[in-house]
Structure 1
Amino acid sequence: MNTLLSIEKRNAVLLKMAVLLEQERNNIITINKADLEAYEGNDISMYDRLKVDDTKVDEMIASVTHLASQEDPVGVERFSFKHDNGMQVYNKTASFGTVLIIYESRPDVTVEAAGIAFKSGNKILLKGGKESLKSNLKIVALWHQALKENEASTDWVEYLQFNRIETQAFLEKPTQKVDLIVPRGGERLIAFVKQHATCPVIISGRGNNFVYVHPEADQQIALNLIVNGKTAKISACNAIDKVIIDKDLPNKKDFIESLISKLKAFNVEILGDEIICEFDEVSSIASDDVWFEEFLDYKIAIGEVTSNEEAIAMINKYSGGHSSVIVTTNEAEAKLFMENVDTAAVYHNASSRFTDGGQLGLGGELAISTDKLHQRGPIGLKHLVTNKWYVHGNGQTR
């Protein structure tokens, strides 16, 4: 077991990593091009997540720099109690120990997620996808350089170059102690990890996010939020996949036609229920299963509901528990929606695209959890800790 590094040393490693990422910027991008050229799949969202350009490198640098500026999440007092017998009791945050991150196609995770886990005092095991191997190995080499230059063991960041069979074997019988597993990727990856893991798993679940357009919606806001949520980044788990429009929306026909034309400008495939599919350029929703689907594509499903209550029920049945949006000028209706929709993030007149650790003030995130234990939504630095009881006595017995 690695002895907890001082906060000064952890920060120094993160800042050195920022310097190295800048120095090696062009090499990282060149190596990433080899991964992109070797990618044989036809999943556009996978390709989008695999790509590293100058903007991505800037984000990596910003992520580790910001992490270095944040307070130490370890050893924070959460509770204290003076026992009648004189014992002093504290509850403080503690690192998990070893965190395994399993992810697909995103070299930026090798920086951001590893950085969050490292800053919170954990050893990190990284299991990336084969499609990003060259990029990941380059970034891990930089982690090792940053650790060595600060006289810290390279064991703190370890890359597991495993195939699927080796990964399954490791999940079922780890060859070293693993305290927490965080899978970041599609539903298949998450199901695979859940099935085989023998230690706690934080589920970074599917999106399939909904926008409900209430009768008292500002319709221009509704159009902007839907188009932004659908088209800004189709590979994101905070993208919009479903729109439900209240049957009592004023000038409903004009609104729907305007929405269709704005989405079509981005070549979005539009599916509709029996009411919406009567409009031009809308295909019929083949089965109710479509409402469960996360598209990760230029594709959207639109339907009609009769009330806020029906919208809430529909979201709670079909969504991934990630993010949901109500567009309305009625505060009471927004409150009803926000309190009763069972998603990690709920929005009133704002885009679901903000469900992101950086955007919600956490600096960055390890994952966006759709679990309710032990943290829901973006998991930032402060959340990647467990806790420990510290009890000080002078011979008390019970």
Structure 2
Amino acid sequence: MQTEKRTISLSTSSSVKQRERKLHAKQKTMELLTTTQKNSVLSSMATIINDRRDTLLKANQQDLDAFTRDDRALYDRLVVDSAKVDGMIAAIRTVESQPDPIDKVLSSGILDNGLRIENRTAPFGTILIIYESRPDVTIEAAVLAFKANNKILLKGGKEAVHTNRVLVDCWHRALKENGLAPDWIQLITLDREATREFLKNPTQPIDLIVPRGGEKLIGFVKEHAQCAVLVSGRGNNFAYIAPDADWDKVLPVVVNAKTDKISACNALDKVLVDAATPGLPEKLKQLGEALRAKATQLFADETLLPLLDGAEPIVDESMWYEEFLAPKICFGSVDGLEPAIDKINRYSGGHSTVILTTNLKKAAIFMEQVDSAAVYHNASTRFTDGGAMGVGAELAISTDKLHHRGPLGLAQLVTNKYYVYGDGQVR
């Protein structure tokens, strides 16, 4: 038995080494494409999607017909209509027009020993995107990764399989039209067990994984991945309403942030109201009525519960951690700026946070001390988006602090490499 175990162990070790050698060999074959090549593929892709619009919409209808509408947020993300196709084409055109982010000199200099050193942008290599629903990710993720000279693996959810197959087929047609291999952009259709095994023992090189979805998906990927994981984190976004807030701004900001798109990660879930707010009962009554008019379910702590008609009590602390992705919102009372900051930093997802106040000094303190990727003063959290922030199409909204935080656009989808030029120097 001992000999058998030893043989199996040696065989496994040999197999791992062979696989690693193969992966490294594959990694070396990736070529740097010219800007003209990449833009030509994107131009072809925009045309092909437009030409195949009817096929795409029919495929999406297949996915919608097979989807149970129990999860409204997932269903909303799954829908592809003609307007969304137009949005995909616009995203491609936007990225096509943006400067190529690869091989840009970040810094350069000559040392005392004569070495000339340049730090330049470089591709990651191969990026795996794992996402739920949202077929438009199949466009936005791939267009950014490709323009940044990365290969991309797309692991979409089973609920969008028909739509994603059409979209990836469009990519393959665009690549072939321009003399490039279709393996620059690949669709992976694996069940949960197969995905777990792929993460543990990838059959091709993976340099970065970006999971786009809920906490369960992110936890699953982080547990099993063998390479860097860039987290596109949960929302659970907070608003703090200071005593001096202008309620003519509070009402539209809060209603927009909560109800404009409940399935978005930048939607508002929690509102902290300062207990010192003058005329609080009447102001909360107005806000509650405005939210209920948008079919939003209200929850409140013991202090605010009597002031919000139709509100339900917050059952336990876990609700403060929860990202709803649903027409629900929680209200809580706080005694001042510092308690508000402490509560937000404790419970929020570190995505987007807003303070509503007329006091610029108070706003500055809040924005400096709240630990979120985007902090707002008197504006809706719905602006945390690549397009809305001027980044263009985005791969994700990163809540990690390395290597980038916030919308991951084209310019952020690169790593760096040092080029050192010498003339025989030794150390």
Q: Is 1:38–2:38 an aligned residue pair?
A: no
Aligned to 2:236: 208
Aligned to 1:25: 53
Runs of at least 4 residues of structure 1 off by over 2 A? none
Q: Is 1:108–2:101 an aligned residue pair?
A: no
Q: Is 1:289–2:318 an aligned residue pair?
A: yes
Output the TM-score relative to the length of structure 2: 0.92
**Aligned-pair distance for 1:186?**
1.1
What aligned pairs does 1:237-256 form with structure 2 within 5 A after superposition? 237-256=265-284
Q: Is 1:50–2:70 an aligned residue pair?
A: no
Aligned to 2:367: 338
Distance in 1, matches of 2:68 and 2:327, equals 20
3-state SS of the aligned residue for 2:140? helix
Distance in 1, matches of 2:156 and 2:196, equals 14
Aligned to 1:327: 356
Deviations 1:363-384, CA, capped at 9 Å, x for gaps:
0110111111111111111111
3-state SS of the aligned residue for 2:141? helix
What aligned pairs does 1:162-201 form with structure 2 within 5 A after superposition? 162-201=190-229
Deviations 1:28-64, CA, capped at 9 Å, x for gaps:
1111001000112510000000000011101100101
Aligned to 2:184: 156
Aligned to 2:125: 97
Distance in 1, matches of 2:189 and 2:312, equals 44
Which of 412, 415, 418 is the matching residue for 1:383? Answer: 412
Which of 252, 257, 260 is the matching residue for 1:224? Answer: 252
Deviations 1:252-289, CA, capped at 9 Å, x for gaps:
11110001100110111100000111132011101111
What aligned pairs does 1:346-365 form with structure 2 within 5 A after superposition? 346-365=375-394
Aligned to 2:347: 318
> What root-mean-square deviation, in Å, do the aligned CA atoms of Structure 1 and Structure 2 show?
0.8
Letter in 2 for 1:27: T
Distance in 2, matches of 1:22 and 1:176, equals 32
Letter in 2 for 1:298: P
Which of 7, 11, 25 is the matching residue for 2:39? Answer: 11
Distance in 1, matches of 2:331 and 2:43, equals 46
Distance in 2, matches of 1:364 and 1:315, equals 29
**Aligned-pair distance for 1:248?**
1.3
3-state SS of the aligned residue for 2:232? coil
Gaps of 5+ in 1: none
Aligned to 2:9: none
3-state SS of the aligned residue for 1:205? coil
Letter in 2 for 1:116: L
3-state SS of the aligned residue for 1:81? strand
3-state SS of the aligned residue for 1:216? coil
Distance in 2, matches of 1:40 and 1:281, equals 29
Distance in 2, matches of 1:276 and 1:23, equals 55
Contact 1:276 1:282 in 2 (8 A): no
Gaps of 5+ in 2: 1-28
Distance in 2, matches of 1:309 and 1:55, equals 44
3-state SS of the aligned residue for 1:78? strand
**Aligned-pair distance for 1:394?**
2.1
Distance in 1, matches of 2:66 and 2:209, equals 28
Distance in 2, matches of 1:84 and 1:268, equals 66
3-state SS of the aligned residue for 1:107? coil
Aligned to 1:367: 396
Contact 1:236 1:296 in 2 (8 A): yes
Output the TM-score relative to the length of structure 1: 0.99
Aligned to 1:396: 425
Distance in 2, matches of 1:189 and 1:5, equals 33
What aligned pairs does 1:55-94 form with structure 2 within 5 A after superposition? 55-94=83-122
3-state SS of the aligned residue for 1:113? helix
3-state SS of the aligned residue for 1:387? strand
Letter in 2 for 1:10: K
Distance in 2, matches of 1:135 and 1:355, equals 26
**Aligned-pair distance for 1:2?**
2.0
3-state SS of the aligned residue for 1:396? coil
**Aligned-pair distance for 1:340?**
0.3
Deviations 1:223-246, CA, capped at 9 Å, x for gaps:
111100110000000000000111
**Aligned-pair distance for 1:9?**
0.5
Q: Is 1:119–2:147 an aligned residue pair?
A: yes
Distance in 2, matches of 1:243 and 1:249, equals 14
Letter in 2 for 1:56: K
Distance in 1, matches of 2:382 and 2:83, equals 18
Deviations 1:101-145, CA, capped at 9 Å, x for gaps:
001111100000111111111000010000000000000000000
Distance in 1, matches of 2:83 and 2:214, equals 24
Q: Which has the larger radius of gyration?
A: 2
Contact 1:127 1:159 in 2 (8 A): yes
Distance in 2, matches of 1:371 and 1:208, equals 15
3-state SS of the aligned residue for 2:203? coil
Contact 1:186 1:206 in 2 (8 A): yes
Distance in 2, matches of 1:380 and 1:39, equals 31
3-state SS of the aligned residue for 2:49? helix
**Aligned-pair distance for 1:216?**
1.1
Contact 1:238 1:323 in 2 (8 A): yes
Deviations 1:141-187, CA, capped at 9 Å, x for gaps:
00000000011111100111111111100100101110000001111
